[in-house]
Amino acid sequence: MPATAEIQKFVAPQPLLVDNGPELARCSAALRKAFGTSFTLWDGHTGEILYASVQQPGSNDLFRGQLARAIHGSEPQFIADEDCVLLLAVPLEGPQGRCIVATSSFIVRTVAQNEHLNGAATLLGLDQARAMAWIARQPVWSPEALLRLAAAAQSQIKAEAKACELQREVDKLSDNLASTYEEICLLHSVTQNLRINSDEEQLCSLVLRWLKDCLPAQAVAIQLLPVAKEGQITYKARTNSVLYTLGQCPVDNDGFTRLIDTLNLEAGCGPLVANRAVTGEADWPFPEVREVIVVPMAEGNRVLGWLSIINHTAGSEFGTVEASLVNSIGAVLGIHSSNRDLYRQQAEFLASVVRALTSAIDAKDPYTCGHSDRVARIGVRLAKELGCDAKMLHTIYMAGLLHDIGKIGIDDAVLRKPGKLTEAEFDHIKQHPELGYRILADMHQLADVLPAVLHHHEQWDGKGYPFKLAGEQIPLIARILAVADAYDAMSSDRPYRRGMPLPRVEELFQLGAAQQWDAEVIKAYFSAKADITKIAQEERANLTLDVQQWT
């Protein structure tokens, strides 16, 4: 009978491999390599066979009885000795500190053909004939060699297990480092784009895209909460919540608000991770929300919004890595939103100061009511024609509103005098640019408009006031407002005179180009005259100052 067929008869009928984890496979392979035969692996505590060797005959029940001896010692030992057969047991440390015992039978002397080996046959779990046949094919070992080899194999297995454990630690650290690196990169990208005056929708859309790229979520969402009550006097403050989403978001703005209520989230709460233990409950009201992380975007106890990722792309559950990243971004966005709102409040306060000052000018000189507003808007149109950037346009607008603020310090009798002014009266009124400068000089937020307030009565030929600056010595903003101011002053009706007809105004502009006014600004007027005429005819615009654009 072929040897392999003979061996197959010795195979125990139970499953060969009960638990073939990588650690057990490694133990088994190391022993096979050292001894040239495989070992049976046992759970040292339960006596359960973890790996049954196909090359070993044996009465497992008999062996099981011997295992207790092996697990009491850490050294390899013989736990059975019958005739010429020794049963070698090698205690090993398995996965999670589990005690494993590896056993194998070895022949330790040559056997004569007519020997009766009843004990060995029993130990091997075979009848005499088969026991003899198996023994005849085995190499003969010395017991000392077996023990030495077993001790060496045991050390090697232990060292390999340690190396594997260290490798697992390294892999885990690498994973942690990778997710931390990803988190830092994302935070870096977000902070690089946090501008106090950047468009909120644009920022939200950038953050959502980054989060969606980094995290295994089907949808990412940012809900921004109102920062002002409805009806509150404000220019740009949000009075309703708004939801920005990316991906397949299963809830709309109202649904998201209900989700927050259901999760009972409030200021000061950390990241909330709800996986199927929560969303799988029968009374969970959002069947399409299977996994969700929500973090507050808060500053102290004030929640300005919520950041959320919804539904794992691979159907798994969200964990601490995702929660940590979303929480970091939520914290940064919370502080940013709060700063942005403080900035808005400050800008709105400045706007109300400007409105109050503009009203004060109008109250002082009711005949020219609306003049500042028209000059501001005509100035903006001229600046646009000259190719000025957005910042300059807004500075011009503010400067137009405030250019005559110094008239607050001029005597009413002079300011409202319907007839021709005396030289002394004119000298008095000529003080208003410097008075205006002094009024506004301490408001650093209005520093950019000061050149216009101070120099809007200078002339290109140097014959203006207060400093007789000439040509490009005069700040551009003042040259632009000089034309806007002159246009409105000449064309507007006054109680004591009619406004000049437009052709006459334009004739004066042509005559005064490169003399009283900057020829380039006059040219811009003629290019934009249709729009400017329209602006001059409009009712006074409400001062809905776009405070976000004042930076």
Q: Which of 384, 249, 227 is nearest to 309 (CA)?
A: 249
- Between 327 and 372, name the residue whose CB sits nearer to Fe ion: 372
Task: Quote the least distance from Cβ 256 to Fe ion, whole Å.
Answer: 53
Q: Using CA atoms, how far apart are residues 227 and 305, in angstroms rounded to an integer?
A: 10
Among the residue ranges 25-33, 180-188, 342-350, 404-412, the one whose residues contact Fe ion (CB under 5 A): 404-412
- Between 128 and 359, name the residue whose CB sits nearer to Fe ion: 359
Residue with tokens 């069947």: 287
Beta bridge partners of 87: 80, 105
- Between 10 and 465, name the residue whose CB sits nearer to Fe ion: 465
Q: Which of 450, 349, 438, 345 is nearest to 398 (CA)?
A: 450
Among the residue ranges 92-100, 228-236, 401-409, 541-549, the one whose residues contact Fe ion (CB under 5 A): 401-409
- Between 194 and 408, name the residue whose CB sits nearer to Fe ion: 408
| Joined tokens for residue 345 | 């409040």
- Between 203 and 357, name the residue whose CB sits nearer to Fe ion: 357
Neighbours of 505 (CB within 10 A): 19
Contact characters 308-327, Fe ion, x per CB under 5 A: --------------------
- Between 394 and 455, name the residue whose CB sits nearer to Fe ion: 455
Phi, psi of 223 (to 5 degrees): -110, 120
Site membership for Fe ion, residue 458 (CB under 5 A) = no
Task: Quote the least distance from Cβ 457 to Fe ion, whole Å.
Answer: 6
User: ∠ at Cα 170 (167, 176), nearest 5°?
Assistant: 145
Contact characters 361-400, Fe ion, x per CB under 5 A: ----------------------------------------
Q: Which of 23, 291, 373, 404 binds Fe ion (CB under 5 A)?
A: 404
Task: Quote the least distance from Cβ 416 to Fe ion, whole Å.
Answer: 15
Residue with tokens 């920005």: 244
Task: Quote the least distance from Cβ 491 to Fe ion, whole Å.
Answer: 16
Task: Quote the least distance from Cβ 405 to Fe ion, whole Å.
Answer: 9
Residue nearest to Fe ion (CB): 404
Among the residue ranges 256-264, 402-410, 461-469, 492-500, the one whose residues contact Fe ion (CB under 5 A): 402-410
Three-state secondary structure call for residue 273:
strand
Q: Which of 436, 434, 431 is nearest to 421 (CA)?
A: 431
Phi, psi of 307 (to 5 degrees): -115, 135
Q: Using CA atoms, how far apart are residues 13 and 10, in angstroms rounded to an integer?
A: 9
Q: How far is CA 329 from CA 177, 292, 320, 508, in A?
A: 18, 16, 14, 61
Q: How many residues bind Fe ion (CB under 5 A)?
A: 1
DSSP 199-257: -HHHHHHHHHHHHHHHS-EEEEEEEEPPSS-TT-S-SS---S-EEEEEE--S--HHHHH
Task: Quote the least distance from Cβ 210 to Fe ion, whole Å.
Answer: 51
Task: Quote the least distance from Cβ 245 to Fe ion, whole Å.
Answer: 52
Spatial strand order of the sheet with 242-247 comes to: 242-247, 217-224, 302-312, 292-299, 272-274
Backbone angle region of 420, left / alpha / beta, with phi > 0 → left and psi within -120 to 50 → alpha: beta
- Between 341 and 404, name the residue whose CB sits nearer to Fe ion: 404
Residue with tokens 């003080």: 431
- Between 273 and 453, name the residue whose CB sits nearer to Fe ion: 453
Task: Quote the least distance from Cβ 251 to Fe ion, whole Å.
Answer: 57
Backbone angle region of 100, left / alpha / beta, with phi > 0 → left and psi within -120 to 50 → alpha: beta
Neighbours of 491 (CB within 10 A): 20
Task: Quote the least distance from Cβ 403 to Fe ion, whole Å.
Answer: 6
Task: Quote the least distance from Cβ 411 to Fe ion, whole Å.
Answer: 15
- Between 273 and 399, name the residue whose CB sits nearer to Fe ion: 399
Q: Which of 333, 488, 342 is nearest to 401 (CA)?
A: 488
- Between 83 and 404, name the residue whose CB sits nearer to Fe ion: 404
Using CB under 5 A, list all residues that contact Fe ion. 404
